[in-house]
Amino acid sequence: MDGTFLNYIGGKWTPPKSDKSFQRENPATGETIGVFPDAGPEDVADAVAAAVKAWDAWRSTPAPHRAEILFRAAEMMMARKEELARGVTIEMGKVLKEARGDAQEAIDMTYYAAGEGRRMFGHTTPSELPHKFAMSVRQPHGVIAAITPWNFPLAIPCWKLMPALVTGNTVVFKPSSSSPLSAHNLLRILEEAGLPPGVVNLVFGGGQTGAALVEEPGVAMVSFTGSLEVGREIAAYCGRAGKRVHLELGGKNAIIVLDDADIDLAIEGAVWSAFGTSGQRCTAASRMIVQERLASSFTDRLVARANALRLGNGLDEAIEMGPVVSRPALEKIEQYMEIGRDEGATIACGGSRARGDGLERGYLFQPTVFVDVQPRMRIAQEEIFGPVTDVITCSDLEEAVSINNDVPYGLVTSIYTLEISKAFRAMERITTGIVYVNAGTIGAEVHLPFGGTRGTGNGHREAGQAALDSYTEWKTVYIDYSGRLQKAQIDR
The Cα 402–Cα 326 span in angstroms is 35
β pairing state of 170-174 and 200-202: parallel
Judgement on whether residues 29 and 117 belong to the same structural domain of the protein: yes
β pairing state of 221-225 and 244-248: parallel
Would 450 be classed as within a structural domain? Answer: no
pLDDT in tens, 292-309: 999 999 999 999 999 999
263 SS3 class: helix
pLDDT in tens, 2-52: 589 999 999 999 999 988 999 999 999 999 999 999 999 999 999 999 999
Fill in the DSSP letter of residue 385.
-
Q: Who contacts 394 (Cβ-Cβ below 8 Å, separation ≥6)? A: 256, 289, 290, 291, 292, 400, 403
The Cα 193–Cα 62 span in angstroms is 17
What mean pLDDT comes out for the span 83-102?
98
pLDDT at 492 over 80: no
Judgement on whether residues 225 and 305 belong to the same structural domain of the protein: no
The Cα 105–Cα 112 span in angstroms is 10
Judgement on whether residues 56 and 161 belong to the same structural domain of the protein: yes
pLDDT in tens, 148-159: 999 999 999 999
Which of 417, 405, 395 is CA-nearest to residue 257? Answer: 417
- Which range of residues forms the domain containing residue 232? 7-249+457-477
Would 448 be classed as within a structural domain? Answer: no
Provide the mean pLDDT of the chain. 97
The Cα 118–Cα 121 span in angstroms is 9
Judgement on whether residues 329 and 264 belong to the same structural domain of the protein: yes
pLDDT in tens, 353-388: 999 888 989 999 999 999 999 999 999 999 999 999
The CATH code of the domain that includes 424 is 3.40.309.10
Judgement on whether residues 128 and 36 belong to the same structural domain of the protein: yes
Judgement on whether residues 408 and 312 belong to the same structural domain of the protein: yes
447 beta partners: none
The Cα 473–Cα 467 span in angstroms is 11
Judgement on whether residues 307 and 406 belong to the same structural domain of the protein: yes
pLDDT confidence bin for 234, thresholds 50/70/90:
very high
pLDDT in tens, 460-476: 999 999 999 999 999 99
- Does an H or E element contain 83, and which? helix 81-92
End-to-end C-alpha distance for the chain, whole angstroms: 72
What mean pLDDT comes out for the span 162-173?
98
Would 451 be classed as within a structural domain? Answer: no
Would 414 be classed as within a structural domain? Answer: yes
Q: Which residues are catalytic?
A: 248, 282
- The region that residue 283 occupies, defined by phi over 0 for left and psi between -120 and 50 for alpha, beta otherwise, is alpha
The pLDDT of residue 357 is 86
The Cα 463–Cα 166 span in angstroms is 13
The Cα 185–Cα 445 span in angstroms is 23
Would 352 be classed as within a structural domain? Answer: yes
379 contacts 390 by C-beta, under 8 angstroms: yes
Judgement on whether residues 112 and 163 belong to the same structural domain of the protein: yes
pLDDT at 198 over 70: yes
What mean pLDDT comes out for the span 237-245?
96
Domain count, the chain: 2
Residue 445: how many other CB atoms lie within 10 Å: 11
Judgement on whether residues 271 and 234 belong to the same structural domain of the protein: no
Would 200 be classed as within a structural domain? Answer: yes
pLDDT in tens, 71-88: 999 999 999 999 999 999
Fill in the DSSP letter of residue 386.
S
The Cα 320–Cα 305 span in angstroms is 11
377 contacts 252 by C-beta, under 8 angstroms: no
DSSP 334-371: HHHHHHHHHHT-EEEE--SB--STTGGGS--B--EEEE
The pLDDT of residue 490 is 86
pLDDT at 1 over 70: no
Residue 470's Cβ-side half-sphere holds a number of Cα atoms within 13 Å equal to: 32
The CATH code of the domain that includes 183 is 3.40.605.10
Query: Looking at this protein, which amino acid is placed at residue 68?
Result: E
10 contacts 50 by C-beta, under 8 angstroms: yes
The pLDDT of residue 158 is 98
57 SS3 class: helix
Would 317 be classed as within a structural domain? Answer: yes
pLDDT confidence bin for 65, thresholds 50/70/90:
very high
The Cα 16–Cα 174 span in angstroms is 14
Judgement on whether residues 466 and 411 belong to the same structural domain of the protein: no
The Cα 468–Cα 488 span in angstroms is 30
Judgement on whether residues 223 and 273 belong to the same structural domain of the protein: no
Judgement on whether residues 55 and 102 belong to the same structural domain of the protein: yes
The pLDDT of residue 2 is 56
The pLDDT of residue 125 is 96
Would 409 be classed as within a structural domain? Answer: yes
- The region that residue 430 occupies, defined by phi over 0 for left and psi between -120 and 50 for alpha, beta otherwise, is beta
* Alpha helices (H) in 368-413, listed in sequence order: 397-405
113 contacts 161 by C-beta, under 8 angstroms: no
